[in-house]
Amino acid sequence: MTSFYLSKPYQPPQAPKSLPLNEPWALLGQMSPQKFMKTYWHKKPLLVRGAIPAFALSAQMGEPLSSPISRDGLFKIAGDDIEQSRLVHSQPWSFAEGPFKKKALPAVNTPNWTLLLQGMEARHPAAAKILSWFRFIPDARLDDLMISIAGLGGGVGPHFDSYDVFLIQMAGRRRWQISAQNDLSLNPDLPLKILQSFKPEQEWILEPGDMLYLPPHIAHDGVALDDGCQTWSVGFRSPSFKELLQEGLWRLAESLEDDIELSKRFADPKQEASANAEQLPQELIKQVQQKLADLKLDQVETFLPGIASYLSEPKPQAYFDAPDDLLTPEGFKKKLASTSLIPHPQTRLLSIGSNVFCNGDNVTKDQPKGVQNLWIKLSADKRLDPLGKMLKYASESSLFDAYEAGWLIFEVN
């Protein structure tokens, strides 16, 4: 396995702004994204040999590629107290959460361990570029990119996920066993969510550059066959309707705080004498019903801003700092004339039509049309290239506010 650490690391390319959705992709086994979504997405597993052709080509030339992030690099990240990291040992099973001091992490040739690192797209440009390959799937569904590095025999046990996941092999080999079994009960005596009974139906050994896609609730078990085995997992979240509606309703209620009409008190000058005083009065019901209709609470469009706001919120552990050398609005505008503006790696952007939500805020609300157009472009392309005539909209706007908060940053070439 020495060659994996001595050879040059793989440098993943950034996906183009406009993805060719109807053309064959090596990433998807020479299938187009449209065909993949129709045939496999959320339906059945797919194994892709050579999903990243560079690994096989380099191996044929006698210069095998290593992972974009070294073991030492991953171990260093595991010591950061703002990152979500976990260490799993098997034989026997044990589980610990980071941050981890260097001496608490195992030597690479120690067997039966796995280190899991969440949200790596925010920590390394290679991980962010890998995520850009999957933008044929809506941003609202994306969770994050997790990296697992393991010693020989390392794994997290047979389990299932409630979300879609792409498992990309980046270093070493991993044996995957999967099953579409109906019995998904968990072993109550273990510290991890491991299946009580796992009956594998298919098995493969993935080499660097291979990829396995799994839809939700497919039981699977991955075991490292080499020291320093790395698997990069691109996961897609699937919130419950309860979660979506609760969050949407809560934000909708907040938005009604300043509604003057709702501040008025209920009045019933037409109320007649009642023989059933214990019953909720029909006049109250009638007026509340009218208010609901006026607010369009019977239409989904009323709830969508709250849901988009919720789905655009960054992860709980996300941390933003104002720029070290904070520019003035004029300085900001001047720099935008020559430098691209991009989202901070932990920033989330979502759109509903011409409304753009950034880290939970509607950043296009009450903004000039020019500012709205800049946010729409930023949300679609995940970058704002140097501006020309649109520069007049850049300063004194929500765009500058987002830069000031550290949500948007200037690209470093």
CATH code assigned at 133: 2.60.120.650
Residues 300 and 360 in one domain: no
State the amino acid at position 221 in one-letter form. Answer: D
Q: Are residues 176 and 194 in the same domain?
A: yes
Same domain, 16 and 135: yes
| Residue at 316 is within a domain | no
Regarding whether 17 and 165 lie in a shared domain, the answer is yes
Give the Å distances, CA to CA, from 384 to 178, 254, 320, 387, 396: 42, 31, 20, 8, 17
Q: What is the pLDDT at residue 7?
A: 53
Q: How far apart are CA 47 and CA 136, in angstroms?
A: 19
Structure confidence at residue 262 (pLDDT): 86
| 245 & 167 share domain | no
Q: Are residues 8 and 93 in the same domain?
A: yes
Q: How far apart are CA 67 and CA 11, in angstroms?
A: 8
pLDDT in tens, 49-91: 999 999 999 999 889 999 999 999 999 999 987 778 999 999 8
Query: CA angle 348-37-209, nearest 5°?
Result: 80
Do residues 292 and 362 share a domain? no
Backbone angles phi, psi at 194, to 5 degrees: -110, 135
Last residue of a domain, one of 214, 236, 258: 236
Give the orientation angle of helix 241-255 with respect to helix 300-311, to 10 degrees: 100
**Which pLDDT score is estimated for 381?**
94
Better-scored residue on pLDDT, 112 or 277: 112
| Pairwise CA distance, residues 110 & 145, whole Å | 25
| Domain of residue 304, residue span | 241-267+279-311
CATH number for the domain that contains residue 347: 3.40.366.30
Asked whether residue 317 is assigned to any structural domain, the reply reads no
pLDDT digits (tens, 9 = 90+) for 10-36: 999 999 989 999 999 999 999 999 999
Q: How far apart are CA 242 and CA 120, in angstroms?
A: 28
Domain assignment present for residue 352? The answer is yes
Asked whether residue 70 falls in the same domain as residue 23, the answer is yes
10 Å CB burial of residue 384 (0-12, 13-18, 19+) is buried
Q: What are 148's two structure tokens?
A: 């697992």
- The count of domains in the chain is 3
Give the tokens for residue 162. Answer: 């409630």
pLDDT digits (tens, 9 = 90+) for 150-178: 999 999 999 999 999 999 999 999 999 99
Q: pTM here?
A: 0.90
